[in-house]
């Protein structure tokens, strides 16, 4: 592992002894967060200063305190609640929610990026100024007010940061980019950006023109205005030595030719761009945080938040784009004294997060895939495969072959400029090099390696590339050894590029073409893995508890393709594949695009999100079709095809028969979808890791792909509903979402207020004829039980849980969700799951338990129910 940091050299990376110390203490803190209190001690909120009130754990290492600052202490959240801060929902708006978040049971607020972003940005990932909080999102004063409100409510604060790239859509808005364009290689910021100057003839290529530069100039679209060059609303600086050219009679075209940048047709970007981007987004330019001063200046405000106690932890966006992710995390640990840090790292299959990284874990996509698949009926795979084949008029694609085609299409298309840059980095020309590099990128099995860690992934890509293209063997013989050298510039750049090809080729293309069951095509998931068994789920959960106990878990994010409850409903299709095939056939007879696989994607979106607005569905199908790229594209839309797909959406609303079919089928599967949704939510909130609740998802979360999943949330409704819980009968499991709010709040409160009940992970046995329809585990005193495959369960008859029991130790228990009490011994699932398809059990003393829903907040009355872990009963 130590070799990974060698190429940092003089760039000031954290020394390995210091890094190991911080990582070891980070793990100790995470472990202590899960340790039980002494028997009989009062419950206290977890997630504050984990080492307790008297002796805070000091993560400064052996070098002592830093000058003129208080030492930071490690804090680990019990749970988080993600808020999208934007124009229309500022930090002041968020401050008004902290009491609601606290009542809900959340332990930390988790904020989207806060640094100043491009005008109109609703996500914040296009930072234009690292030195200040975005005034449009509330500014520094707004952040101070939010932080103060959070502290008063005893909430921690986690903030999303973006180290890989900056927004450059408006050159004048980004001072670094503006200076680069004005001064070229002489700019101080030339070192901050990743520009291939030689390829551009010492000019940065800016793909903004609709025509050639000559045509733009001839049409009067290119104009010199003072010390700027304008193209429509786009403004660019003039190099100081060229400001007088226009006054001397030079044309706009001649002035342009003298600049340190070249404006070019946007279509040339695919192959001719000469700066690193985020994926294929021309307006997001990569920056080089491996350079010490670039790190320092891009993190000055972020580190202030941690230093001054405004924030407690960070979520790192897209670390795979960095030259040295591990080195970056080491430096971040140094700058934050080892604060809680998560990485947005997508793991493929058996891939594991590098254990040496100074991080507490991922943002949870790995857990999401597991939580989804344990609720999918494997028996439905054959039926859905047959349906997919019939829609295609031939065999369904082998997923591995499909993603090879889509990744290769990306490498040869929108990311061709990255392939050609790698070719130019070879020390000597190699025949067929671009072809061989593109094939290696295509065959790379994971998002990226971190050499020397992951050398086996490069070897696997090499072997697969030779299998696919034996004609490239000679080129691969020369190229692959250079890509295996950890310190080689071409190897570093190749590692930064593999993730781009994976993301664009798989998530943003293949996922829209592999359509047999849409719930499986989710970020971080492998659609070829149809379902997992209960035993497989337990194995993976236990591994998370043992290895990454403070890693995040999630069900919905700002990047998920479908909201968690859309996926939960679509999972039901695996239980009724023949019914679905019949309904889909009728719907297609009413409205079809002529593309069978895409038709099922649209109708699944309609069924999964119903009732959804017409406008939301139109926006979804346009994005889905253009991302798939089969029948229409962003750059070359097929008007006739898009008219048919929009007519299909309209048919769901306007055609009486289609609307009746949709309504009847949704009514048929919605209850099973709600059961799946409640089960997945409980398992996520109670299972190992730090559960995140995405904004609004305490009620049904039926969003589709972004920007739909960033819509405004009605927090007033949620606040009112939360206030009424426990004031009467259990909420019905219906479209209101009240049942989900109850499950979410009870689970979050228990987890926050009783940390000693969450110290381990032990699968619990269910016995009896319906045992396969339940999943249960004990966290050290909190026992979660969830129903799975509810359609097949209901088909067992009027008494589906007959003779099926949960085996457990002696002692009475209470269901924290419903308030019902059960005596010791084996528990009948007929009784346990009579009200809800889920239960959250804790042992109790002999005190009477009220039959109304139990408030699991800390109690003061000695006569109240006292919840204790099993070993203390």
**Which 8-state DSSP code applies to residue 736?**
T
pLDDT at 864 over 60: no
Residue 464's pLDDT band, with cuts at 50, 70 and 90, is: very high
Distance CA(444)–CA(439), nearest Å, equals 9
Q: What pLDDT is stored for residue 349 in this prediction?
A: 87
Find the radius of gyration of the CA atoms of the chain. Answer: 28
Mean pLDDT of 777-794: 98
Whether the CB-CB separation of 323 and 288 falls below 8 Å is answered with yes
Instruction: For 50-198, list the strands marked E by DSSP.
Output: 80-83, 108-111, 115-117, 127-133, 156-161, 165-167
Q: What share of the chain is helix, strand, coil (3-state, %, to 5)?
A: 45, 15, 40
Q: Where exactly does CATH 3.30.1590.10 map onto the chain?
A: 171-286
Whether the CB-CB separation of 455 and 463 falls below 8 Å is answered with no
Q: Which residues pair with 699 in a beta bridge?
A: none
Tokens for 802?
Answer: 């007959």
Place of tokens 């002796």: 55
Q: Which residues pair with 284 in a beta bridge?
A: 167
Nearest to 334 by CA among 364, 363, 362, 292: 292
Tokens for 777?
Answer: 């585990």
The CATH architecture assigned to 171-286 reads 2-Layer Sandwich (3.30)
pLDDT at 9 over 90: no
Q: Among the listed ranges 290-294, 301-305, 578-582, 807-811, which one has the minimum average pLDDT value?
A: 807-811
Mean pLDDT of 400-421: 98
Distance CA(435)–CA(420), nearest Å, equals 10
So what CATH class is 571-670?
A: mainly alpha
Nearest to 808 by CA among 742, 711, 857, 873: 873
Distance CA(668)–CA(408), nearest Å, equals 41
Topology of domain 2-164+289-363 in CATH is TIM Barrel (3.20.20)
Q: What is the pLDDT of residues 628-646, one digit of tens each?
A: 999 999 999 999 999 999 9
Q: Where exactly does CATH 3.20.20.80 map onto the chain?
A: 2-164+289-363
In percent, how much of the chain has pLDDT > 90? 86
Mean pLDDT of 478-499: 98
Q: What is the pLDDT of residues 371-387, one digit of tens each?
A: 999 999 999 999 999 99
Residues 6+ apart with CB under 8 A from 335: 299, 303, 306
Mean pLDDT of 801-806: 97
Q: Where exactly does CATH 1.10.10.470 map onto the chain?
A: 571-670
CA distances from 614 to 186, 429, 609 (A): 53, 54, 11
In this structure, the dihedral spanned by the alpha carbons of residues 315, 318, 323 and 328, taken in order and rounded to 10 degrees, is 0
Tell me the average pLDDT of the chain: 90
Residue 26's pLDDT band, with cuts at 50, 70 and 90, is: low
Distance CA(450)–CA(3), nearest Å, equals 10
Instruction: For 340-423, list the strands marked E by DSSP.
Output: 340-343
Q: What pLDDT is stored for residue 28 in this prediction?
A: 53
Q: How many CB atoms lie within 10 A of CB 45?
A: 14
Distance CA(628)–CA(344), nearest Å, equals 24
Q: Residue 303, SS3? A: helix
Q: What is the pLDDT of residues 726-748, one digit of tens each?
A: 777 899 999 999 999 999 999 99
Mean pLDDT of 439-458: 98
CA distances from 103 to 67, 534, 752, 782, 802 (A): 39, 33, 11, 20, 38
Distance CA(355)–CA(413), nearest Å, equals 35
Strand order in the sheet with 281-286: 165-167, 281-286, 277-278
Q: What is the pLDDT of residues 266-308, one digit of tens each?
A: 999 999 999 999 999 999 999 999 999 999 999 999 999 999 9
Q: Residue 836, SS3? A: coil
Mean pLDDT of 417-444: 98
Q: What is the pLDDT of residues 658-681, one digit of tens each?
A: 999 999 999 999 999 999 999 999
């Amino acid at each position: 592992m130590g070799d990974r940091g060698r190429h940092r050299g003089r760039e000031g990376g954290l020394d390995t002894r210091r890094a190991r110390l911080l990582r070891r203490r980070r793990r100790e803190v995470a472990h202590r967060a899960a340790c039980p209190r002494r028997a009989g001690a009062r419950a206290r909120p977890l997630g504050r200063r984990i080492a307790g009130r008297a002796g805070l754990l000091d993560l400064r290492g052996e070098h002592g305190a830093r000058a003129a600052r208080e030492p930071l202490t490690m804090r680990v959240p019990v749970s988080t609640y993600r808020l999208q801060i934007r124009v229309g929902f500022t930090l002041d708006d968020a401050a008004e929610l902290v009491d609601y978040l606290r009542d809900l049971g959340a332990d930390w607020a988790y904020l989207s990026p806060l640094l100043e972003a491009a005008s109109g940005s609703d996500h914040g990932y296009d930072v234009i100024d690292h030195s200040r909080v975005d005034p449009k999102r509330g500014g520094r004063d707004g952040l101070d007010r939010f932080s103060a409100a959070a502290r008063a409510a005893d909430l921690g604060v986690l903030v999303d940061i973006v180290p890989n790239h900056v927004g450059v859509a408006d050159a004048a808005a980004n001072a670094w980019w503006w200076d680069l364009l004005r001064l070229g290689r002489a700019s101080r910021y030339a070192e901050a950006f990743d520009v291939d100057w030689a390829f551009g003839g010492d000019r940065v290529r800016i793909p903004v023109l609709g025509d050639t530069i000559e045509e733009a100039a001839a049409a009067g679209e290119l104009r010199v205005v003072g010390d700027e060059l304008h193209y429509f609303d786009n403004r660019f600086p003039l190099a100081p030595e060229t400001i007088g050219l226009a006054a001397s009679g030079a044309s706009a075209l001649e002035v342009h030719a003298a600049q340190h940048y070249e404006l070019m047709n946007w279509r040339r970007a695919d192959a001719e761009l000469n700066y690193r981007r985020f994926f294929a987004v021309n307006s997001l330019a990569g920056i080089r945080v491996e350079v010490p001063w670039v790190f320092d200046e891009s993190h000055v405000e972020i580190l202030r938040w941690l230093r001054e106690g405004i924030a407690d932890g960070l979520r790192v966006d897209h670390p795979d784009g960095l030259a040295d992710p591990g080195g970056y995390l080491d430096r971040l640990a140094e700058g934050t004294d080892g604060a809680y840090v998560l990485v947005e790292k997508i793991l493929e299959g058996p891939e594991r997060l590098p254990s040496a990284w100074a991080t507490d874990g991922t943002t949870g996509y790995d857990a999401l895939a597991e939580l989804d698949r344990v609720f999918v009926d494997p028996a439905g795979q054959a039926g859905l495969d047959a349906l997919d084949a019939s829609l295609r008029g031939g065999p369904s694609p082998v997923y591995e072959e499909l993603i090879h085609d889509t990744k290769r299409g990306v490498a040869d298309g929108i990311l061709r400029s990255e392939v050609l840059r790698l070719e130019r980095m070879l020390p000597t020309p190699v025949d067929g090099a671009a072809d061989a590099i593109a094939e290696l990128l295509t065959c790379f099995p994971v998002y990226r390696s971190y050499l020397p860690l992951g050398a086996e992934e490069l070897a696997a890509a090499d072997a697969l590339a030779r299998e696919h293209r034996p004609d490239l063997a000679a080129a691969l013989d020369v190229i692959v050894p250079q890509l295996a050298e950890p310190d080689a510039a071409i190897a570093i750049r190749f590692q930064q590029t593999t993730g781009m090809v994976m993301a664009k080729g798989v998530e943003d293309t293949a996922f829209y073409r592999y359509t047999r069951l849409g719930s499986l095509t989710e970020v971080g998931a492998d659609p070829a893995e149809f379902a997992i068994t209960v035993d497989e789920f337990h194995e993976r959960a236990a591994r998370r508890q043992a290895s990454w106990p403070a890693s995040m878990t999630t069900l919905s994010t700002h990047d998920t393709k479908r909201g968690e409850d859309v996926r939960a409903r679509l999972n039901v299709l695996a239980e009724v594949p023949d019914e679905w095939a019949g309904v889909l056939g009728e719907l297609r007879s009413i409205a079809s695009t002529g593309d069978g696989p895409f038709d099922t994607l649209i109708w699944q979106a309609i069924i999964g999100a119903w009732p959804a607005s017409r406008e939301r569905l139109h926006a979804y199908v346009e994005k889905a079709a253009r991302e798939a790229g089969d029948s229409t594209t962003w750059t070359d839309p097929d008007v006739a095809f898009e008219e048919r797909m929009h007519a299909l959406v309209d048919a769901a609303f306007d055609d009486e028969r289609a609307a009746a079919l949709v309504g009847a089928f949704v009514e048929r599967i919605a209850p099973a979808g709600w059961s799946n949704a409640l089960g997945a939510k409980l398992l996520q909130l109670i299972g190992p890791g730090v559960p995140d609740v995405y904004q609004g998802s305490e009620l049904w979360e039926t969003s589709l792909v972004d920007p739909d999943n960033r819509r405004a949330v009605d927090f007033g409704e949620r606040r009112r509903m939360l206030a009424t819980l426990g004031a009467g009968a259990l909420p019905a499991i219906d479209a209101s979402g009240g049942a989900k709010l109850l499950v979410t709040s009870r689970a979050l409160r228990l987890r926050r207020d009783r940390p000693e009940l969450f110290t381990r992970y032990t699968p619990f046995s269910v016995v009896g004829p319906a045992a396969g329809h339940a999943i249960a585990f004990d966290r050290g005193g909190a026992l979660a039980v969830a129903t799975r495959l509810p359609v097949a369960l209901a088909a067992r008859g009027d008494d589906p849980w007959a003779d099926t029991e949960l085996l457990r130790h002696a002692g009475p228990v209470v269901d924290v969700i419903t308030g019902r009490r059960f005596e010791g011994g084996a528990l009948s699932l007929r009784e346990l799951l009579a009200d809800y398809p889920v239960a959250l059990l804790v042992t109790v003393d002999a005190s009477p338990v009220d039959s109304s829903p139990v408030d699991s907040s800390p109690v003061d009355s000695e006569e109240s129910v006292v919840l204790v872990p099993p070993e203390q009963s």
